[in-house]
Chains A and B, each alone.
Chain A
Amino acid sequence: MRILTCVKRVPSPGAKITLTADGTAIDTRHLGFTISPHEECAVEEAVQLASAHGGSSTVLTLGPAEAEEQLRNAIAMGIDHAVLLPIEPDEHGVAEWDPRATAHAIAEAVTGLEADDGPFDLLLFGNESADAGNFQVGVRVAEALGRPVLDGIKDIEVADGTARVRRSVPDGFTVHQLPLPAVLAVKEGINLPRYPAMRGRLIAKKATIRQLQPTPRPGGLRRLRLRAPEQQRTETVILGSGADAAPAAADVLEEVGLL
């Protein structure tokens, strides 16, 4: 079984998001980078499926050269191979393409990878990216490749060339069956992603990352400006110490509806 998981490098902000002076990007000087929790679950799911069914897993991202960090983190979690579709930063210093251009580049890369090494049975995405939240790339890739797609996936079982999946809906979940190859966008909660092992980190450090140059295509979405909402200043109130604090703590719990 061959699985491809697609991820996106995003800033890992604190409570307050600071924007660059021109308001077109997040100020990332003090920030680390990560992938969305959904994508972490997609990586974990790929590792588990490849382990359970045999085969291999690959992680792919379209982003700046620094996105190697996210690819190596995925390898440290147990992914076998990594592919980077490198892109240059725009005039605002942001290396990011819109969903249409991104999906096109990924579909192009998948086609190339499959021509070299054989077809992927599953393409996994996070349900949405942690920053833009466009909910588009997975669906657009599926459309481009002509493969069935479902999002909101909370469980995947693979057997006999089909995937049986659970999709969360407001009042519960629905169960679907898709023929493979298929595209699935998974949601946080499908599993508990593992921490990368130290040994895994060392393997990841030495791993080769394959680079495929994506073909730029005009997208339909253009970011004009970001706006950070006003934030309320939080304040810590010390309710007391030891047993003396109990009544006040109980009052607070009651107030927020937990008692």
Chain B
Amino acid sequence: MSELPSHASVVVIGAGIVGNCVVGHLAERDWTDIVLVDKGPLPDPGGSTGHASNFIFPVDHSKEIAQLTLESQRQFEEMGVQTTTGGLEIARTEARMEELRRRMASALAWGIDAELIGPERVKELAPFVDTSIVLGAFYTPSVSVVDSLQAGTIQRQRALDKGALTVSANTEVLDVEVDQGRVTAVVTDRGRITCDHIVVACGVWSPRIAAMAGARIPLVPAVHQMLDVGPIPELEATRSEISYPIVRDMDTFMYERQSGGDMEVGSYAHRPILHDPDDIPSIEEAQLSPTQLPFTQEDFDEQMEHALELMPELLDTPGAGIKHAINGLLSLTPDAGPLLGETPEVKGLWSAAAVWIKEGPGVGRVMAELMTDGVAFMDIHGADIARFTPHQRTDFHVKARSREHFNKTYGIVHPHEQWESQRGIRVGPMHARTSALDAVYFEAGGWERPQWYESNASLVAEYGVADRPHEWDRRWWSPIMNAEHLAMRERVAMIDLTAFSIYEVHGPGAKDYLDAVVVTNVDRPAGRIMYTPVLTYNGGFRSDLTVIRLGWDHYRIITGGADWGRDLKWFSDHLPADGSAHLTDVTSAWTTVGVWGPRARDLMAGATSHDLSNDAFPFGNAQWVEIDGIEALMVRISYVGDLGWEVHAPIEQGQHLWDVLWEAGQPHDVVPAGGGVYGGSGRLEKGYRLMGAELESEYDPVEAGLAFPKVKAADFIGKERYLESREREPAAVMCSLTVEDHTSSSGVERFPMGGSPLLTTDGRRLEDAHGRPCVVTSSGSGPSIGKHILLGYLPPEQAKVGQELLVQYMGERFPVVVGSATRHGLFDPDDTRMKS
């Protein structure tokens, strides 16, 4: 046992797979004076790593998770702790077969070898499966099993070998000290360590440690049940830890994997059983380990029947019994994603929590890179701990959402699927009005945002909008959205945009501060609207948003509802130390109504006497306007490509604003339109990029087609890399494509969605010179151009208007053609409508 040093550059708390990998990767990046503490003994301190099943299925619909998993597999292989077994995801139902076809598309997208196989082939690979109940399976040869404890030991040893690490097991953290918003020390039962950084990598205990510092790590410990059945002579005869492919019985949410002479059976089908981090037994008190709680048999009875159905003879082998059964604890988060990065509350307090074994080493690398360079090799916006709003960090929300998604672990989850729990708890001021119009709400940044209005149903016939014939394609979709779109293009629409995130910057240093953070030159006259990318240190996208100058020392920043926490942290992190600029989050103080369409000026003229002529109020400008007793900010900008404004008003006057505009719109046949138009069809027709879809830290503005003609003189984050990227040919180009024939082999028209891989006409998978896969980043209707639009990055040689390609969707391929290889979209590419 090493003596604890009094100071460390970083203290990593938790010696599971994540903490060990963070330590290893920090040492690799030449960090020294690292301390790793765990309250348990090594190599298995009693956390979730110690009871993990340790298998890795690399295919995931999420690009982020697939990337983390593939990187982890690469590292496990390099460490020599990986056994490739292959894996079967079995379908018992036709719905699951369709989901497996969708998985085939994801496998192709991420370049993972996989095939759909029939029952006979399943029998060959796993002879003990009763294939009479199997329709087919998704077979991934690269599925593997790893030794996560040994991987942790190796990572730790590498840091020790470099003389960079002190390890202290059996060391309990008692307190985390914070001064002026920054961590200063960790207090343990073996001494106090002053430090610059703390990484909380202690899985289910993470919320407790974060709370010591006044931060939240929003996860809840939850039970995953598993048991071992054996001895089974057929498995013992292999004389190996594992010789058969791992089987996931997808429709029963279960898995079965060989573990020596036993079969391990695990489930995600039982009722969600949540625990409290403060109520986990200590190592001494626990019967097995703190995260291996007593098995609750009654929760597993149905699962046993399912397991016996699938492997009747093997699991019913005479003499074989249940040798070991646990309620294992793992971490669940509100949206099922990991919690990575610096906490928004406390500087220097990093979270590396809610990570599965399959992501562990990849997360170790991401964390070390974030801590060293401020940016990782891959975009992690979906895992960023700063992504949550305050209400999403509450215990109540965390538990409600975790309870909801636990049983979806192996579920068939539609890409647009909406949450059922915790709804209707963050509503805008127009909510009563939009509800009266029968709005169907989707969630955006925790807000209820109308996606379409059932009151517009009659528009479907009026505009002759076609429905989608396949249930999957029309799930969480409505032809009403396309009808609203066409009505907007013809008349005028009002859109509730309360979900916008809005910050304000004040102070004499406001201009210089913003100039240092965003790409565009913000030294413009008051009233000017500036669209701008915000870059990471490596010149990739951190965000993209709108800045309005409201005064010489006053700016407003408007960004997406889902980007609230991440962008707020980024802007907060870069505030000047001298206090010359202040950032205020006014999201809950301002509401916005979008008014767009050829009659938008007519509508607004009925609500205000302000001069709205093109000369007096040109595109790209914002002006303070009186609207029936409301001092509103009219912002002449458009994300849907039509004439109109975002009208900002104090939130308490939002309903009044809606009423006035609605009244003014009646002579012009105004329609309410939802997010389906705003973030979907209107945006896609214009080719507007969306943060988190087209825009990620892995892509730069040149590739996204969003580089400005000139580069400002002032220095800004990412400038050096931005300048470099402007000097070379982009490795990929963001393009707008259209689907040319929707007809599937069964004759049903299909509508490809995001994540689908783009292929050459001879079926070859496409990736760019940096190895980045070419996939659909966004997709949706283009009602005004009469086409289904896809956005996606293509290598320059394919990024040519007229280029014919294929898109793979649900196991079938559909012809597509490139319609635009610039930032200009397919509808009104010269922007004449919105500038009219």
**A interface residues with partner B (beta carbon < 8 Å):** 12-16, 18, 29-33, 69, 72, 194-202, 205, 231, 233, 235-238, 241
Contacts and interface: CB of A to CB of B under 8 A. Distances in A.
Interface stretch (B313-321, B503-511, B525-533, B804-812): B313-321
A45 to B, nearest CB: 17
B295 interface: yes
Contacts of A30: 280-281, 285-287, 293-294
A29 B307 CA distance: 30
Interface residues of B, number: 34
9 contacts: A13-B285, A14-B284, A14-B287, A30-B286, A31-B287, A196-B322, A202-B301, A202-B305, A235-B1
A197 B285 contact: no
B169 interface: yes
In the complex, the 8 A-B pairs of residues with the closest C-beta atoms, listed nearest first: A195-B321, A32-B294, A16-B284, A30-B281, A236-B41, A14-B286, A14-B287, A15-B284
Contacts of B288: 14
B42 interface: yes
B301 A201 contact: yes
A15 B287 CA distance: 7
Nearest to A30: B281
B123 interface: no
A142 B322 CA distance: 34
Interface in B267-319: 279-288, 293-295, 297, 301, 304-305, 307-308, 315-316, 319
A233 B171 CA distance: 12
B321 A194 contact: yes
A107 to B, nearest CB: 31
B357 interface: no
Nearest to B41: A236
Given A14-B281, A16-B285, A30-B286, A199 B322 contact: no
A103 to B, nearest CB: 29
Given A199-B308, A236-B41, A31 B294 contact: yes
A12 B294 CA distance: 9
Interface string B458-499: 000000000000000000000000000000000000000000
B516 interface: no
Nearest to B300: A201
Contacts of A236: 41-42, 169-170
Given A32-B287, A236-B41, A236-B169, A198 B294 contact: no
Contacts of A198: 229, 304, 307-308, 315-316, 321-322
A170 B404 CA distance: 59
Interface of B: 1, 41-42, 157, 169-170, 229-230, 279-288, 293-295, 297, 301, 304-305, 307-308, 315-316, 319-323
A181 B286 CA distance: 42
A14 B169 CA distance: 20
Contacts, number: 80
A153 B301 CA distance: 35
A20 to B, nearest CB: 13
A206 to B, nearest CB: 9
A197 B321 contact: yes
Contacts of B287: 12-14, 30-32
Contacts of A201: 297, 301, 304, 322
B284 A231 contact: yes
Most buried by A among B157, B307, B308: B308
A33 B230 CA distance: 22
A202 B286 contact: no
B321 A196 contact: yes
Contacts of B321: 194-198, 200
Given A15-B284, A236-B41, A237-B1, 6 more contacts: A31-B287, A32-B294, A33-B294, A196-B322, A198-B229, A238-B42
A233 B170 CA distance: 10
B147 to A, nearest CB: 15
Contacts of A196: 321-322
A205 B322 CA distance: 15
B285 A32 contact: no
A237 B170 CA distance: 11
Nearest to A238: B42
Contacts of B294: 12, 30-33
Nearest to A237: B1
Given A30-B286, A31-B287, A196-B322, A235 B170 contact: yes
Contacts of A231: 284
A13 B436 CA distance: 59
Contacts of A237: 1
Contacts of B282: 16
A48 to B, nearest CB: 13
A209 to B, nearest CB: 14
Q: Which of B169, B294, B295 has the most CB of A within 10 A?
A: B294
A202 B319 CA distance: 16
A32 B307 contact: no
Of the candidates A30, A69, A202, the one having the most CB atoms from chain B within 10 angstroms of its own CB is: A30
